Chains A and B, each alone.
Chain A
Amino acid sequence: MKIFHLPDLGEGLAEAEIRDWYVKEGDRVAVDQPLASMETAKAVVDVPSPYTGKIIKLYGKVNDVIQTGSPFISFELDEGTIEQSKGSVVGSLEESSKKWDEGDVIIGAVKTKSPAIKAMPAARVLAQQMKIDLSIVNPTGPQGLITPDDVKRYIDQSTRIPVVDQGESLHGVRRVMANIMMQSHQEIVPVTIIDDADTTTLSKQVNITIHLLKAIVAAVKIAPSLNAWFDGKTLKRQLFDHVDIGLAVDTAEGLFVPVIKQVEKYSVEELRKKVDVYKRSVQDRTITASDMQGATFTLSNFGMIAGRYATPIIVPPMVAILGCGRSRDAVVAMDGKMIIRHIVPLSLTFDHRAVTGGEAARFLGAIIAYLQGTTY
């Protein structure tokens, strides 16, 4: 005879109440056949038979409470039925008939390997914060290690103009131009005003460059503050009673700016000769350094090549530059009619730290008036 003790029907339940017996003493039962319906503190569950055989005794009636581990049913086991004990005096094993599906097990390591990026943890954090892909950072650490400095260098490079590591170094006037333009851009507060002069009535014999030089002299009389030097550090302004005009001359080697000193003293004819001498001395490189220093105002007659308006850049310590574009015939409105006039486009840049807008406008007005042969 085999006594079946009431198993724990939940997790650590002490007892269960018999709801219903599905079998009676003397019945024959098979393994897993439901024996009784039991109500626990948690649920109503059926208790299956652990054995095949004949039921000898039921240890309780409906509504009786049976303690976990107490005798529940006794059996007379069939001949040849061997109890298959799973062992274990304590605990219970999870048991299932499911297949252990592991797939392909590799003994040791997977041999395939994708190239790893070596980076210091700080470099990884920095790269993540700056959203930089480490695979494009150039490593300089030992054994191809990316350091935080490598990431910083990458950030610096990517936010800057690409470094020109080949090519030629600038020298001579190109180098001077580069430095002066950089200084100008960093220091000066430029404003450019543009307007047109109507030179229809002007004689064709008039040389426009000479005419412009004379116009500047005339305009300086109206607005002397444009014929000046200014020092942004000391905030000192120096006005001049002479007009020394730097005349931009384009050459293959670069920009030359010979200075015609005391323009106000010369006649048109004298100026024409002087300009020709300077232009020649630029072409044959006989111009001296002192011939290109000390300008108080600059004129760029870029229109001789092409271009209408511009935003000319002032050469410090000067405070203004006049650019003259390509003259042309244009339809303009005059006295209520459309008529064709000869137009010279003008662009005046002034340093607003040293010159007021009014001064500059008056200056440009005077230039236009002189060029047109009218009075301002």
Chain B
Amino acid sequence: MAEITLVEAITQALAHEMQKDTDVIVLGEDVAKDGGVFRATVGLLDKFGPERVLDTPLAESMIGGLAVGMAVQGLKPVAEFQFMGFIYPAIDQIINHAARIRNRTRGRLSCPVVFRTPYGAGIHAPEHHSESTEALFAHVPGLRVVIPSSPARAYGLLLAAIRDPDPVIFLEPSRLYRFAKQEVKDNGQALPLDTCFTLRTGDDVTLVTWGAMVKETLSACDRLIEAGIQAEVIDVATIKPLDMETILLSVEKTGRCVIIHEAPLTGGVGAEIAAQIAEKALFLLKAPPVRVTGFDTIVPYSRLEKYYIPSEKRIIDAVHRTMEFT
């Protein structure tokens, strides 16, 4: 069994599913000959040929439209946008068509498409390569938004996303692409969508996060153990629809919640989680829910990037604030 990186896990999942299901098509800018800007589709052209691995023109709206057309006609396209900042020209296709084809046709057509894109800061890239605008998509009815945070979850969740009969926005944290390696069996086993993953168990505080921030959150969790604080770490993984049951069960136990996301504060998915906790578990809370997030600014260039991304220290400080309430 091989130890692979997160981006290799993406490739492995794509290759597995293309082998198994000839309806699966990969398309995007430079995905075929070049193997993708981050090499997520490397080798697929050789294995599956130019009819199933398509280099598209530099036109994201067209990528979106092409994928929607393929999907409603029975294929299972996996479309790549090179960076999250490039997805916006395709928003019309995604929101107006992919998200609502099933509803619009009263269930006659579905749209089993996966829109993949790297996202998040931390790779010293310009700002439109670094943003985290997942809340835009989480807000749209009809879209499922899935974010892996480890090679194993990248593999299992991408398989589930491809097999899901409805559109999935699949956001890959680029700074975790090659951060570390993990053993991932190429056994075709999908992980459940719409389900959180509990990465650490603890009774004192619940840390809710997803994507690349799982890295800082886990290291904060380790530091907190040294301070005698047992944190439960939940990787939300599917931010729409939210698995509030898992989050609420944990918060009922700990009474404290710190939500960590790289995206800006205002209108972030953290706000939705905090609101639902307030609605459903207010009387179980020992302390107000706290959010540790990026700032309400454009992501800065590389030198300031580390100040933008919520640090281990900011997470630990927030936890200590909630622990002041006994």
What CA separation (Å) do A121 and B129 show in the bound complex?
42
What CA separation (Å) do A88 and B175 show in the bound complex?
12
Nearest to A84 among chain B residues (CB) is B39
Which A residues between 83 and 102 are near B, CB-CB below 8 angstroms?
85-102
B255 to A116, Cβ gap below 8 A? Answer: yes
Q: Does A358 contact B (CB under 8 A)?
A: no
Q: Does A55 contact B (CB under 8 A)?
A: no
State the 5 A-B residue pairs at the shortest beta-carbon distance, nearest first. Answer: A91-B125, A100-B182, A91-B123, A109-B246, A87-B39
A108 to B284, Cβ gap below 8 A? Answer: no
B284 to A99, Cβ gap below 8 A? Answer: no
Contacts of A334 in B (CB 8 A): none
What's the A-B contact tally at a CB cutoff of 8 Å? 130
The number of residues on chain A lying at the interface, defined by a beta carbon within 8 Å of a beta carbon of chain B, is 38
A residues in contact (CB < 8 Å) with B = 11-12, 85-103, 105-110, 113-114, 116-121, 124, 128, 145
* A108 with B253, Cβ < 8 A, contacts A11-B302, A91-B125, A119-B283 known: no
B283 to A109, Cβ gap below 8 A? Answer: no
Contacts of A121 in B (CB 8 A): 282-283, 285
Minimum distance in angstroms from B53 CB to a CB of chain A:
16
What CA separation (Å) do A88 and B302 show in the bound complex?
16
B150 to A102, Cβ gap below 8 A? Answer: yes
Nearest to A124 among chain B residues (CB) is B286
What CA separation (Å) do A97 and B203 show in the bound complex?
33
Contacts of A89 in B (CB 8 A): 37
Residue among A12, A99, A108, A114 making CB contact with B196, cutoff 8 Å: A108
Q: Does B65 contact A (CB under 8 A)?
A: no
Q: Does B122 contact A (CB under 8 A)?
A: yes
B303 to A87, Cβ gap below 8 A? Answer: no
Minimum distance in angstroms from A122 CB to a CB of chain B:
11
What CA separation (Å) do A55 and B84 show in the bound complex?
40
Contacts of B34 in A (CB 8 A): 87
Q: Does B179 contact A (CB under 8 A)?
A: yes
* A93 with B284, Cβ < 8 A, contacts A99-B180, A113-B249, A128-B325 known: no
What CA separation (Å) do A244 and B269 show in the bound complex?
87
A120 to B283, Cβ gap below 8 A? Answer: yes
What are 8 A-B pairs at a CB distance below 8 A?
A87-B38, A96-B178, A105-B152, A106-B199, A108-B192, A108-B243, A116-B284, A124-B286
Minimum distance in angstroms from A143 CB to a CB of chain B:
8
B191 to A93, Cβ gap below 8 A? Answer: no
Which B residues between 229 and 279 are near A, CB-CB below 8 angstroms?
232, 243, 245-246, 249-250, 252-253, 255
Minimum distance in angstroms from A104 CB to a CB of chain B:
9
* A91 with B283, Cβ < 8 A, contacts A96-B180, A98-B180, A100-B151 known: no
Contacts of B243 in A (CB 8 A): 108
* A107 with B36, Cβ < 8 A, contacts A100-B180, A119-B283, A128-B325 known: no
* A94 with B179, Cβ < 8 A, contacts A85-B39, A105-B199 known: yes
What CA separation (Å) do A113 and B254 show in the bound complex?
9
* A96 with B253, Cβ < 8 A, contacts A106-B198, A107-B197, A108-B246 known: no
Minimum distance in angstroms from A333 CB to a CB of chain B:
65
Residue among B39, B182, B196 making CB contact with A109, cutoff 8 Å: B196
Minimum distance in angstroms from B171 CB to a CB of chain A:
16
B125 to A109, Cβ gap below 8 A? Answer: no
Chain B CB count within 10 A is highest, among A94, A114, A121, A145, for A94
19 additional A-B residue pairs with CB within 8 Å, beyond A106-B199, A108-B243: A87-B36, A87-B42, A90-B129, A91-B124, A94-B175, A96-B179, A97-B181, A99-B181, A100-B150, A100-B152, A100-B180, A102-B152, A102-B199, A105-B153, A106-B201, A108-B245, A109-B196, A110-B249, A128-B325
